[in-house]
Structure 1
Amino acid sequence: MSAELSDIEFEDHGSKGRYVLRGPDGAEAELTFTSAGDNQIIIDHTGVPDAFRGQGAGLRLLTRAVEDARAAGRKIIPLCPFAAAQFRRHPEWADILKS
Structure 2
Amino acid sequence: MIATPEGEAEMTYSILSPTSRIVDHTAVPKALEGQGLAYLLMQHLIADARNKGYKIVPLCPYVNAQRAKHPDWADLFLI
Q: Tell me, yes or no, whether TM beats 0.5.
A: yes
Which structure 2 residue ranges, 5 or more long, are not aligned? none
Match of 2:36 in 1: 56
How far did 1:54 drift?
Answer: 1.3
1:74 alignment counterpart: 54
Change (3 A) 1:62 1:36: same
Q: Residue in 1 aligned with 2:25?
A: 45
Query: Pick from 33, 38, 48: which aligns with 2:13?
Result: 33
Residue 63 (structure 2) aligns with: 83
**Structure in which a larger fraction of residues adopt helix:** 2
Identity value in percent: 41
Structure-2 residue corresponding to 1:95:
75
Q: CA RMSD in A?
A: 1.0
- In structure 2, the residue matched to 1:10 is none
Corresponding letter in the other structure for 1:49: P
Residue 3 of structure 2 corresponds to 22
CA offsets, 1:11-63, max 9 Å, x none?
Answer: xxxxxxxxx0111x151000000001110001000011113211111111011
Query: Which shows bigger deviation, 47-56 or 71-80?
Result: 47-56
TM-score normalised to structure 2 length: 0.94
Instruction: Measure, in 1, the Cα distance between the counterparts of 2:24 and 2:50.
Output: 18
Give the ranges of 4+ consecutive aligned residues of structure 1 lying more than 3 Å apart after TM superposition.
none
Instruction: Answer 1 or 2: higher relative contact order, Cα 8 Å, separation at least 6.
Output: 2
- TM-score, normalised to structure 1, is 0.76
Count residues in correspondence.
79
